[in-house]
Structure 1
Amino acid sequence: MLTASRRALRSTLDTRLSHWGLLDWLRLLWCTSIFWYELISFAWSLRSCSWPDTVLFPGRKRPAHILLVADPQVRDLSTSRSSGFTAARQHLTELALRRNWFFASRKNPDLVVFLGDILASWQLIRSDDDYKRNYAKFLDIFRLDQRIPAYFVPGNNDVGLNIDHAVARQARQRFTSHFGPLNQKIRFQNHTLVMLDAAGLVEEDYLRASKYIEYEDWTPVPHGPVEFVHSLREEDQEHPTILFTHIPLHRPDTASCGSLREKGTIRRGVGPSYQNMLHKKTTAFLLQSITPEIVFRQVLLFDTSAIN
């Protein structure tokens, strides 16, 4: 039985709702839709994106968790000449990045790997000050817990691909001074994580192919990606290796990308400062030299993995 106060509240609510017109209901629908798509849908999606601990490792201790962030393309609007619709679109993109990171970081990863194209484009950065502002914007959006290590894989938007040598050298220096080495190897739990400068590897592959030299006879560029891969091959690989690359490995054009891909497939393609996948010989060179157990490449905004 309703109490007097509840009956009064219900009566008041019924009275007010009875005076609502079509416009009022449309406003309520509009507000509810915004609230759902801007906040609730993100949290709801992550409910079905939990770490696969119980599926992969039932009855065993908790494995380590790695959060992969691909293609954020952060840009500080103060360094942009965009206005009107373009500026509004960039602002909305930034808000989406903030929401994505807010909810994804709540999964409490043990390590974070950014899979390239961290900033919008080397072409849009005209000075060191521009780079610092874009880097500050990245740190403001992706607020990293200092206790959680983060590693960064360079993408073609970060360091360029087949561009002027002086510009490329400057872009690479800026990347390494802010995000770390272009190529690196770390030990994490009982695995070896290899982060590859795929754009640099493509450039060295073009140089090698132009001289008609096979990989086994090629003298690597000093401190380049091929030399880095050779150094891995010479080591004893006592732990399983996981490879992280911004540019996907070679695959047939008709190969399926799996049921989780939203649409389309990956096809061979080359253009100004980009390449859709590595060359077939380059892919074979990597797989034979590193022998990775699994390869992660730039595909989605966020992806997750677990390591035991």
Structure 2
Amino acid sequence: MSDLDLKPTALRCGREASAGPVKDLLTGRTVTLGESTQVRRLLPNLGRRMVGAWCFVDHYGPDDIADQPGMQVPPHPHMGLQTVSWLHQGEVLHRDSLGSLQTVRPRELGLMTSGRAISHSEESPREHARMLHGAQLWVALPDAHRHTAPAFEHHTDLPVVTAAGLDARLILGTLDGATSPGTTHSPLVGADLTLRGGAEHRLPLERDFEYAVLAISGSVDVDGVRVEPGSLLYLGCGRDELPLRALTDSSLLLLGGEPFEEEIVMWWNFIGRTGEEIAQARGEWMAGTRFGEVHGYDGARLDAPALPPVPLKPRGRTR
């Protein structure tokens, strides 16, 4: 999925993270993607840029698209990151410059590693389900892996950790002894938590990780804080477990990882280390080089926004 902001700012995200547990409830801002899809952008946020290597989180739906085209995000470029497509309802057709053509369905992992350069599109198939509901997330690649060859993975059989009233499906990384088959390049975890109303559980965590939970549906008490859809609760570091109490049938995304030690510059759909890198990538996309071509999408590709009139200046991880 793309960042379609026409005036994107440059963000510099460093290693600052809470030294201990916190409970910081963040709300998203509404952003329109493509022709009609509206999303709630939770990361980057006014108060938080990253959670581990997770650096971008959009939550969309549930939207009734029975009489609409649904998601229509034209071909656009990425570098220096991984994209994670995660659905609860509906389906998304992924195309990329590697020639991948894959329909991603609920609770299947669509994982694209941009590495040095890739381009892709995302759209609801012409014949699609009535409802569309899910999340799109980015993972920043560490310097040692950000120039790797691009790749796309599709995993339909993901491990599930079960307990009384709780199912935790591993998207990326490891949780409570279960490990996702998705490729990772830094210590992190992503899990889809499904809780039945009234269920209580203490989820084991890694003390060295920082964590956040994104509410997808329902209402959950997370360590004493009620979390509703459209909000992200940042939890900080230093936790061995996380108390959960479902007030209704609910779903959460658990995101975590070791605090990212490198500084990164995010602008539009690129992650680099300097403003010069970003400007070069923009120029190459506009010139039609480096990022390849997406075949089969019915429409024009996206043009990159204009660079700001002043040099791209990195910002801190939090503000």
TM-score (norm. length: structure 1): 0.29
Higher helix share: 1
Higher strand share: 2
The structure showing larger relative contact order (alpha-carbon pairs under 8 Å, at least 6 residues apart) is 2
